[in-house]
C-alpha cells in the first residue's frame, strides 16, 4: 500500500475543513444514482446502476439443477464480476483480474453471509425445490463499465 504525501494529506484535510470534495460536492452530498432494470433480455433479471461516474450492469440467470451431495438442502449460487479494461487505467492487464476476484468474493460474502449463512442476502435453502434432487442454480454476473468509486455498492444495488 502506498502512503499519502504531505501535500495530499493537506489537500484532503483542506477539503474536509471547507466541506468540499474534489468533484465539487459537499461532504454529505450523495452522487446522483440512476437505476435501469431489464437491460439484458436473455437474463431472468438485470439492472444497470450508475453512481456518479461509476457504471455497472448485473444480471441473474436461474436454471434447475441438482444440489451437491454435501449440501442437499441448498441451491447453488455462482457470482462472477468482470472489470472492463476500458473502465479505468488500473484495470488493464492483471489489475482488472485481481479486482474482479476481490469484488466477486466480497459480493459472495455480502449476499451469502458467513459459513453459517448468518446475515445472508440470499438464503440458499430457499432455492431447494425437492431436497437432494432438484434446486435452483443462480448465476449472478456483474460488469464494471466505468469506475469512479463505490464499485461494491453499485454492484450490490444492481444485483
Domains and CATH numbers, the chain: 1-28 (no CATH), 30-156 (3.30.230.70)
> DSSP string of 69-120?
SS-TT--EEEEEEEE-TTS-GGGTTHHHHHHHHHHHHHHHHHHH-STT-TT-
Residue 1 has pLDDT above 60, yes or no: no
pLDDT of residue 76: 92
Distance between CA 135 and CA 127 in Å, rounded? Answer: 6
pLDDT of residue 30: 83
Contact 31, 51 (CB under 8 A): yes
Question: For the residues 68-92, what does the mean pLDDT come to?
Answer: 85
Give 94's pLDDT tier (boundaries 50, 70, 90).
Answer: low
Nearest of 77, 80, 78, 109 to residue 97 by alpha carbon? 80
pLDDT for 113-157, tens place per residue? 766 666 678 888 899 999 999 999 999 999 999 988 889 999 999
pLDDT of residue 2: 65
pLDDT for 10-68, tens place per residue? 988 998 999 988 778 898 888 889 999 999 999 999 999 999 889 999 999 999 999 99
138: helix, strand or coil: strand
Burial 3-12 (b: 16+ CB within 10 A, else e): eeeeeeeeee
pLDDT of residue 114: 67
Amino acid at each position: 500500500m502506498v502512503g499519502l504525501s504531505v501535500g495530499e494529506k493537506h489537500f484532503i484535510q483542506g477539503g474536509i475543513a471547507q466541506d468540499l470534495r474534489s468533484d465539487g460536492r459537499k461532504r454529505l452530498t450523495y452522487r446522483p444514482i440512476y437505476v435501469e432494470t431489464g437491460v439484458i433480455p436473455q437474463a431472468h433479471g438485470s439492472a444497470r446502476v450508475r453512481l456518479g461516474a461509476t457504471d455497472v450492469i448485473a444480471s441473474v440467470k436461474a436454471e434447475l439443477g441438482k444440489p451437491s451431495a454435501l449440501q442437499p438442502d441448498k441451491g447453488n449460487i455462482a457470482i462472477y464480476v468482470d472489470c472492463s479494461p476500458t473502465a479505468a487505467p488500473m484495470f488493464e492487464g492483471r489489475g482488472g483480474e485481481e479486482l474482479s476476484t476481490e469484488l466477486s468474493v466480497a459480493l459472495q460474502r455480502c449476499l451469502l453471509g458467513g459459513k453459517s449463512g448468518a446475515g445472508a442476502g440470499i438464503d440458499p435453502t430457499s432455492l431447494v425445490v425437492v431436497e437432494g434432487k432438484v434446486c435452483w442454480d443462480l448465476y449472478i454476473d456483474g460488469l464494471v463499465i466505468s469506475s469512479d468509486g463505490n464499485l461494491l455498492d453499485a454492484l450490490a444495488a444492481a444485483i
